[in-house]
A and B are shown apart, each in its own frame.
Chain A
Amino acid sequence: MPTDTFDIMLLLAKLTLLYGLVMTAAAYLVLAERRVLAWIQDRTGPNRVGPLGLLQPLADVIKMLTKEDVCPAGADRWLYYLAPAMAAIPAILTFAVIPFGPPLTLFGRNIPLQVVDLNIGLLFFLALSSIAVYGVALGGWASNSKYALLGGIRGLAQLISYELSMALSLVPVVMLAHSFRLGDIVAAQASVPFIVYQPLAFLIFLISIAAECKRVPFDLPEAESELIAGFHAEYSGMRFGLFFVGEYINILVLGGLAATFFLGGWHGPWLPPAVWFALKVLAFAFLFIWMRGTLPRLRYDQLMHLGWKVLTPLALVNILATGWFIMVL
């Protein structure tokens, strides 16, 4: 625990900086998604607010803040108000363990460029992603609406199923790095990123995080064409905004984690480490947007089939193979 004033100030500064950065990046990711999707579909996208539409996130925030906050009749009021926070806060919290640069030496002190370097960082992330399930489930349950309930149930089943394969695909990473600490995992990839040793685990992790942030091939919890907006169908105003921005924070966080676990985190030639990390995160964000512009939604049985009968066994076999290689070599 940091006890002296400087440490506390430093922690607060890092928290504020990171929080501001993540929120801004998430807001602009919304704009980026709208623009890139528009380009994919030969449209222009929002380009009216400010130069090139760059003030669009600001306009969206003002719109959401000034909208009426509706609580449907018969809703479970407490859970209804709690659910958006349950969806957004774990996503932001996960950012605390991601290292976005090598430790800095400032005023003779060693400052790690992450909020906390937990020795169980990976488990912390898995635990938080489990808590994020409650946002979807409670939001769907408390809305007192059939669409929201169906979306919540789907989200619950989907997130739990894919969490399994996600966690299993991270086991080889831990085996190679000999640590749950994210800083150690990044340090272990100083020469060769783990994607070279673990392409299969990377693929499984990629598919699982797409399902984990409810993105397009796996957007069953909010499937517009059948469930209107799924678990957040009844939400309005900034509570809807929390769900919405939580989804985009999730993309950034999971992209950052994918970069940390498989692409060597902030390691990279020529450019500064923080820039490399940002580039990798943005590459994942673009991949998710690109996927949304390309892939159709899976059917529910296909989703479960892929999760339980393909990804989970593959991840288990991958763990076995990795273990065998580590033992033999």
Chain B
Amino acid sequence: MSFFADIKALILGFWTTLRHLGRRSATIQYPEEKRSPFPRFRARIVLTRDPDGEERCVACYLCSAACPVDCISMQSAERPNGRRYAAWFRINFSRCIFCGLCAEACPTMAIQMTPDYEICKRDVMDLVYEKEDLLIDGCGKDPDYNFYRHSGIGVVNPRGGNPDENPPLDVRSLLP
């Protein structure tokens, strides 16, 4: 007869809820208690500098092309020595969905995500970050990486002057 099974199930249900009554709540009281997010947590986006203190960004537009919500915009420019940079760089954090695709697309490790998730503002326009708001002094997650030491021919060093490069061969020396 299912009657006794039903009664048993009823008692079991009431017992379960009663047990949970005395349990600690799982709620985090946010402004007072804060979780420390993991290092790879995807929140506020920054622009990093290379170990020499120069801007890493070469204004290649790959991040703004990768952005699914089109919240990144910039204007590229070039210095006299051939080094590219962004004349202005703008991220609209009111549109950003923190997917991290921009950081994945970046060839120079310039654009990176940080664990700083507390970017609430009273005014929506304050969420539009300009280049000076985005640029930080450090190197971010990859402190040794320097794009122009591997690529960007002849901008930082003459050809073959980088540590992992060989100087260009004199083709005439290869003649038989």
Task: State the A residues within 8 Å of B (CB).
Answer: 36, 38-44, 47, 290, 293-295
| Chain A residues whose C-beta falls within 8 Å of the C-beta of B26 in the assembled complex | 42-43
Measured CB to CB, the closest approach of chain B to A65, in angstroms, equals 29
Measured CB to CB, the closest approach of chain B to A245, in angstroms, equals 25
Q: Could you mark each residue 2-37 of chain B with 1 if its beta carbon is under 8 Å from any beta carbon of chain A, else 0?
A: 000000001001101110111111110100000000
- Across the interface, do B14 and A294 meet the contact criterion of CB distance under 8 Å? yes
Measured CB to CB, the closest approach of chain A to B139, in angstroms, equals 41
Selected from B10, B14, B20, B29, the residue in CB contact (under 8 A) with A42 is B20
| Chain B residues whose C-beta falls within 8 Å of the C-beta of A38 in the assembled complex | 25
Closest to A47 in B: B29
Measured CB to CB, the closest approach of chain A to B8, in angstroms, equals 14
- Across the interface, do B27 and A44 meet the contact criterion of CB distance under 8 Å? yes
Q: A290-B14, A294-B13 are in contact. Are A44 and B21 (CB under 8 A)?
A: no
Measured CB to CB, the closest approach of chain A to B33, in angstroms, equals 11
- Across the interface, do A39 and B20 meet the contact criterion of CB distance under 8 Å? yes
In the complex the two chains form, what is the Cα distance from A39 to B10 in whole Å?
20
Closest to B26 in A: A42
| Chain A residues whose C-beta falls within 8 Å of the C-beta of B25 in the assembled complex | 38-39, 42-44
**A39-B23, A294-B16 are known contacts; what are 11 more A-B pairs with Cβ within 8 Å?**
A39-B25, A40-B20, A40-B21, A41-B20, A42-B20, A42-B26, A47-B29, A290-B18, A293-B17, A294-B13, A295-B13
Interface size grouping (class) on chain B: 10 to 19
| Chain B residues whose C-beta falls within 8 Å of the C-beta of A44 in the assembled complex | 25, 27, 29
Closest to B27 in A: A44
- Across the interface, do A36 and B14 meet the contact criterion of CB distance under 8 Å? no
| Chain A residues whose C-beta falls within 8 Å of the C-beta of B14 in the assembled complex | 290, 294
Closest to A39 in B: B21
Q: Could you mark each residue 79-93 of chain B with 1 if its beta carbon is under 8 Å from any beta carbon of chain A, else 0?
A: 000000000000000
Q: List 30 A-B contacts (CB under 8 A).
A: A36-B21, A38-B25, A39-B20, A39-B21, A39-B22, A39-B23, A39-B25, A40-B17, A40-B20, A40-B21, A42-B20, A42-B23, A42-B24, A43-B25, A43-B26, A43-B27, A44-B25, A44-B27, A44-B29, A47-B29, A290-B14, A290-B17, A290-B18, A293-B17, A294-B13, A294-B14, A294-B16, A294-B17, A295-B10, A295-B13
Closest to A287 in B: B14
In the complex the two chains form, what is the Cα distance from A295 to B13 in whole Å?
8
Measured CB to CB, the closest approach of chain A to B51, in angstroms, equals 47
In the complex the two chains form, what is the Cα distance from A293 to B20 in whole Å?
10
Closest to B13 in A: A294
| Chain B residues whose C-beta falls within 8 Å of the C-beta of A39 in the assembled complex | 20-23, 25
Measured CB to CB, the closest approach of chain A to B153, in angstroms, equals 60
Measured CB to CB, the closest approach of chain A to B25, in angstroms, equals 4
Closest A-B pairs by Cβ, 7 of them: A44-B27, A44-B25, A294-B17, A42-B26, A40-B17, A293-B17, A294-B13
In the complex the two chains form, what is the Cα distance from A301 to B72 in whole Å?
58
